[in-house]
Structure 1
Amino acid sequence: MESAVLARLALQFAPFSSALDAGFWHELTQKKLNDYRLDESPRNIRGSYYNGDPAGLPTRLTLEFSAFDVNAVTPPRCCPAFGTLYNTNTLQSFKSTDKKALLEQLGKEIWDTIRSGRAIEDPSLLNTFLLLTFADLKKYHFYYWFAFPALCFTEGIPIVQQPVSLAEKFSTCQIHTLQDAYNELCQKEEVTAVPYFLVKYREDSVSLASLRNWNEFFKGQTKVTVGVYDPCTLTQYPGWPLRNFLILIAYNWGSFLDTLEVLCFRDRTMQGVRDTQHSIIFEVKLPQIASVTDCPKCVGWEKNQKGSLGPRMVNLSECMDPKRLAESSVDLNLKLMRWRLVPTLGLENVVTTRCLLLGAGTLGCNVARTLMGWGVRQITFVDNAKVSYSNPVRQSLYEFEDCLDGGKPKALAAVEKLQKIFPGVKVEGFNLSIPMPGHPVNFSAVTMQQARKDVEQLEKLICSHDVIFLLMDTRESRWLPTVIAASQRKLVINAALGFDTFVVMRHGLKKPKQESGEPATVAATINPTLAGCSLFSNIPGHKLGCYFCNDVVAPGDIRGFLSRFDNVLPASLAFDKCTACSPVVLDHFEKDGFQFLANVFNSSHSFLEDLTGLTLLHQETQAAEIWDMSDDESF
């Protein structure tokens, strides 16, 4: 019975309830992705609390989007609260973090500010907090546990006089004088709200002062009244910020006090009228702790929605656009790969790179999926074939339904499927035939005109993209894009697939004809290595050969097969007699345009060989072989 009576007479406090708005979680997401990454180091953040809430609302500590700027302006009529964010990388790490040690550490820091006197000069040091979080950015689930550390007396705080409203204790004149005095103190301290202050009142006046003026302000007084900016709305209990304040008073001045009167200042504005008469005032007797050196016990972890100690979780996925969620999840995967594997990868440049895929078959489908997986968001397909019944089993962007009724155009079907896979991709498709050497276009005026249109369309597409992928199934179909891309100084990636081999190479990125100090193309800025030197040799990037530099014949339908699997990434010097990127070919193309191309299309392979000097080279080589043979026979 006696313990129950003591419990009723001991002072109790309304704990803080965390109020973390959506802006806070959005900002945490951005910080995690762009700044924190895998770093779990503690971060300084700030919140605020307000003492003007209507009755019935919980005692709130609010964290908004500006919480990560510790120098941000405090909202009007709010007290700042400074804290520490511990953001973990995994849910397991969130669960296994030593919460007791974190709370005790922060409690000790508060105790040190009390013993050193720093909390008297800067009372905001009493209102520190900590926030433990884990952000599941794939699901937009945010797990968090908030703590507002409060130091405890070893025994309860006896209540001498029960809390009453200020209207029962003060006259109307005193209440108005208190309001004016508080405003003056805020102006003097240059803050929007003073968390703790000293109070003296008479029948016709009320005066306030800062904590640092305790000895002078209360000189010769036997009765001491202190004020706390109180965010609690309950009529019988003070809010959480009072706890550490009472510890501070007991340690510094408790031995000189018989009792202590506490004014919980609550400042509402109702229908434009200021109202502080609902503030409460009461009297307590503080336990003696002036001789205590060890840090008192610390409490303060917030209870969850079930009323027990434990973390909370907020699910923001329902208020997020599914397309936005998909983009964010893909971006997160990419950034994780960069953080862990390729720190120098310029994802921002990859996202803006425009990729042209010439060929939408087995290679085109798989390259498109891989590009999307690495963050490319702008893809264009070019192909003139239709989806056949044999395609879906090998070409991942097509299904059986795409083969019906003669088959959908591959370029358009690939566009539809990519958009279904990832709505965030910007993709186009062109059903376009690419003219080839040795494939005449002079059968009729219509045929010639169509070939001209196809060439013009291809030139426009190559011009409007940064990286060109040659993914066709014939060798000669790669010639025209190679010539156009070399002339326009575009980066070319060439992939060829055989029965049991494949070849991947990039063409040399030609230097501009007139050095202007600007990059040759946007693609050259993606990675300096691409425009600089080869990844596999010391050959400068602009001197690397193209797909056709590695042969000494004109483009034809030539394929080679080996009896074993082989992965070939050739790096060789540009060939001065190359039938695609040599100076003589580019000069004729840039000077004569379609007329030069028409001659190539309508002539045999010997046209390019004669033009580039390959014919003469072959003749010289054969003559040298004959000479070597005659020498051998003379022995």
Structure 2
Amino acid sequence: MAESESKKLMFVPFSSSLDAGFWYKLSDNKLNAYGLDESAKSLFGFYYNGYSTSPTCRLSVDYTAFDSAAPAPPRHCKAQGELYLTNTIEAFKEFDQKGMLKKTAEKLFKCIQSGEAVKDPSSLTRFVMLSFADLKKYHYYYWFAFPCLCLPPDVLVSKQETLEQRFSNSQLKYLLESYDQFQSASTSYQTHFLIKETDDTFTIHNVSETENLLQDKIIFAFFDPCSSDDFPGWPLRNYLYLISYTWGDRLSEVDIICFKDRMKSGVRSIAHSLILTLKLPSVKGTTECPTFVGWEKNERNKMGPRMVNLSQSMDPTKLAASAVDLNLKLMRWRLMPDLELDKICNTKCLLLGSGTLGCNVARCLIGWGVRNLTLVDNGRISYSNPVRQSLFVFEDSLNGGRPKAETAAESLKKIFPGLNAVGINLSIPMPGHHVSVSGVEQAKKDVETLEKLIEEHDAIFLLMDTRESRWLPTIIGASKQKIVINAALGFDTFLVLRHGLRNVNEGCSQQLDQNVEIPRGEMPGDKLGCYFCNDVVAPGNSTKDRSLDQQCTVSRPGISMIGAALAVELLVSILQHPDGLNAPACTNADNDSFLKDTESSLGVVPHQIRGFLSRYHVVLPAARSFSKCTACSDIVLTNYKSRGFDFLYEAFNLPSYLEDLTGLTQMHQETDDADILSISDDEEDEQSL
């Protein structure tokens, strides 16, 4: 351009560039942090001045955008913005865009008025993002604005050339070295700076030094992300307003370097950077915020938002992991802000039994976000199973049937690939089921496997068909202080029960003194009984001499789903209570107990849930631990801990062993003697009459 010619100054606007990582992080923040909060959130982006092919002036926003401490990549400048994330698409469409942009423009103007922009010129480059995230479809709507204050229209370019045209190669080399020294001395990459020219040398200075250097030959410079060879980038607009407002009354003409730092043929060069000589009007003394612009045009080059659909490009497994937790995370927005989902997600659950109850419990657990499940069973899928056991299909029952535990685990992973589900084929030794001499070694291995499994998990579900199969895991769970939850079915009844906490090291202190008065409406969690505490006989072989309907759990189909769901809900309530397994058990003996505040965000934590489907009735009894219990009494746990398999072997093979050990035999005898004496006394009274 000839020196005598003048033209209107034009700028290349910013163009937003967002990667998939940003949308992942935005989704995570919306679900886990923001909820329904629509207030402005801090956001950070960065830009680079080394582009050589893109014709745009790009501002990038990635997964680090929400972290104020995250540094920009090397040789990139950081820009601060604000995010307005609406809750509905309607709110997005009706948002006061003009008001939002005006608010940001006024902040910019005050920053220039107060002199803050002179001290920190990076504050001149701001952006605003309006967005709505449809987290069901993974559709994201967004609109960026890069607010700029408008100077009077008579800003003219009187001269435009490249640095290569203005300076020699040696001068350019010296200028680049000075620039690198200046940037390396700063804690962050400087967006705007001054170049003082003295003969053939240059020194770089902060904008805050301008007042002291006005008498010298200075050039205003800025980090220009625009790759165009003909026009400056968007960051120049607010910089010019700052210069005009602060020093415009003393500078009728200014030189501006649009600093572009490219690689050319493998060699770093700033030679193509533009240098503009501008006739700049003064706006000093302006008291009102000037007009402003800044909304980004969409891909059709029209003023409007953009939409990105990531449902196809995102990893389906990651999509599933996010989607399965959507319902849970939405709970925290309005209903339960105190819900601790990590406690649930990180709980490792062991399901002993992979039949009707086991399948339904597993489905409900993954619905609550549990990620680690181990299923145990020794059975195979029969033709009658798939209609009642929700993880199996007809093909699983062919050719003798597939193993239940392994098939259930495979089905769970088909439902949710991100799940860590394992199926183990295992027989659990039981009292009343004789262990032969040849079967001792296998029984030992089975016991060791069960002990290891219970040790490795946090919550144990007892979901087996027989009563006696629950005895061994009850003892192991009590000795290892695990959460143990029992679910058992009748024809139209069900029982869901949590075992009280036991600590064999504390001996009898854990057994409840029958004379101790329990507070009305609740019972201490460490004094609750186990599944066997109401028994006055040892568990035995319940399948012996039984017809088919007595060997199978014959129940109304809906019972298993109700019982399984309540078992899982009970576990979640325990996990959410601050006392965990020690949470006091609430009963419905006192209706006022349902009205008082509870410490758990999910409400009461009962000991037992007993349901009667014929009357659609549920009761919440709480039972004391029994000092003569054949499973959790101190003497049983002490013998198990000290004698190990030898103790278990006697319990498996000797029908009366557990009753003799716990004192049940003596109690029965004393009861019989009392009955005889009572009858005898009655006869004497009759004879005396």
TM range (shorter): 0.7 to 0.9
Q: Which residue does 2:240 correspond to in 1?
A: 246
Kept in 2, the 8 Å contact 1:489–1:512? The answer is no
Residue 586 of structure 1, aligned match among 637, 644, 656: 637
Letter aligned with residue 122 of structure 1: D
Deviation at 1:379, TM superposition (A): 1.9
Kept in 2, the 8 Å contact 1:355–1:380? The answer is yes
Tell me the number of residue pairs that the alignment of Structure 1 and Structure 2 aligns. Answer: 604
Q: Which residue does 1:510 correspond to in 2?
A: 502
Deviation at 1:51, TM superposition (A): 2.3
Task: Give yes or no for the alignment of 1:167 onto 2:167.
Answer: no
Q: 1:193 to 1:125 in 2, by over 3 A?
A: closer
CA distance in structure 2 between the partners assigned to 1:325 and 1:456 by the alignment: 39
The SS at the match of 2:421 is strand
Residue 229 of structure 2, aligned match among 215, 228, 235: 235
Matched ranges for 1:15-414 at <5 A: 15-29=13-27, 31-32=29-30, 35-36=33-34, 39-136=37-134, 140-153=138-151, 155-161=152-158, 163-172=160-169, 175-176=172-173, 178-179=175-176, 182-183=179-180, 185-186=182-183, 192-197=189-194, 204=200, 209-219=205-215, 226-318=220-312, 320-338=314-332, 340-414=334-408
Deviation at 1:114, TM superposition (A): 1.2
Residue 14 of structure 1, aligned match among 7, 12, 15: 12
Deviation at 1:393, TM superposition (A): 1.7
Deviation at 1:109, TM superposition (A): 0.3
Q: 1:481 to 1:287 in 2, by over 3 A?
A: same
The SS at the match of 2:248 is helix
Greater mean alpha carbon deviation, residues 591-600 or residues 416-425: 591-600
Q: 1:536 to 1:449 in 2, by over 3 A?
A: farther
User: Unaligned 5+ residue runs, structure 2?
Assistant: 1-5, 511-517, 543-549, 554-609
Deviation at 1:620, TM superposition (A): 4.3
CA distance in structure 1 between the partners assigned to 2:283 and 2:489 by the alignment: 82
Q: Which residue does 1:543 correspond to in 2?
A: 527
Letter aligned with residue 547 of structure 1: Y
Greater mean alpha carbon deviation, residues 415-424 or residues 337-346: 337-346
Deviation at 1:414, TM superposition (A): 1.2
CA distance in structure 1 between the partners assigned to 2:650 and 2:101 by the alignment: 82
Deviation at 1:483, TM superposition (A): 2.6
Q: 1:393 to 1:536 in 2, by over 3 A?
A: farther
User: Unaligned 5+ residue runs, structure 1?
Assistant: 1-7, 521-533
CA distance in structure 1 between the partners assigned to 2:519 and 2:385 by the alignment: 34
Q: TM-score, normalised by structure 1?
A: 0.83
Deviation at 1:149, TM superposition (A): 0.7
Deviations 1:202-226 (A, max 9, x none): 6x555665433444433399xx853
Deviation at 1:165, TM superposition (A): 2.8
Q: Which residue does 2:559 correspond to in 1?
A: none
Kept in 2, the 8 Å contact 1:493–1:506? The answer is yes
Q: 1:307 to 1:554 in 2, by over 3 A?
A: same
Residue 474 of structure 1, aligned match among 462, 466, 476: 466
Q: Which residue does 1:617 correspond to in 2?
A: 667
Greater mean alpha carbon deviation, residues 405-414 or residues 310-319: 310-319
CA distance in structure 2 between the partners assigned to 1:409 and 1:176 by the alignment: 76
CA distance in structure 2 between the partners assigned to 1:378 and 1:602 by the alignment: 35
Letter aligned with residue 531 of structure 2: Y
Deviation at 1:295, TM superposition (A): 0.8
CA distance in structure 2 between the partners assigned to 1:167 and 1:30 by the alignment: 48
Kept in 2, the 8 Å contact 1:198–1:214? The answer is no
The SS at the match of 1:212 is helix
Letter aligned with residue 370 of structure 1: C
The SS at the match of 2:389 is coil
Greater mean alpha carbon deviation, residues 308-317 or residues 29-38: 29-38
Letter aligned with residue 233 of structure 1: S
Q: TM-score, normalised by structure 2?
A: 0.77
The SS at the match of 2:430 is coil
CA distance in structure 1 between the partners assigned to 2:366 and 2:427 by the alignment: 25
Letter aligned with residue 297 of structure 2: K
The SS at the match of 2:428 is coil
Q: 1:219 to 1:484 in 2, by over 3 A?
A: closer
Kept in 1, the 8 Å contact 2:431–2:651? The answer is yes
Matched ranges for 1:418-437 at <5 A: 418-437=412-431
Task: Give yes or no for the alignment of 1:493 onto 2:544.
Answer: no
Deviation at 1:174, TM superposition (A): 5.1
CA distance in structure 2 between the partners assigned to 1:466 and 1:220 by the alignment: 74
CA distance in structure 1 between the partners assigned to 2:618 and 2:407 by the alignment: 30
Deviation at 1:294, TM superposition (A): 1.5
Letter aligned with residue 161 of structure 1: S
CA distance in structure 1 between the partners assigned to 2:164 and 2:325 by the alignment: 58
Q: 1:512 to 1:142 in 2, by over 3 A?
A: farther
Q: Percent identity, aligned pairs only?
A: 52
Q: Which residue does 2:625 correspond to in 1?
A: 574
Kept in 1, the 8 Å contact 2:224–2:260? The answer is yes
Kept in 2, the 8 Å contact 1:358–1:364? The answer is yes
Deviation at 1:107, TM superposition (A): 0.5
Greater mean alpha carbon deviation, residues 431-440 or residues 294-303: 431-440
Deviation at 1:564, TM superposition (A): 1.9
Deviation at 1:494, TM superposition (A): 0.5
Letter aligned with residue 469 of structure 1: F
Q: What is the RMSD computed on CA atoms of the aligned residues? A: 3.7
CA distance in structure 1 between the partners assigned to 2:377 and 2:286 by the alignment: 83
Deviation at 1:574, TM superposition (A): 0.7
Letter aligned with residue 511 of structure 1: N
Deviation at 1:101, TM superposition (A): 1.9
Deviation at 1:110, TM superposition (A): 0.3
The SS at the match of 1:67 is helix
Letter aligned with residue 582 of structure 1: S
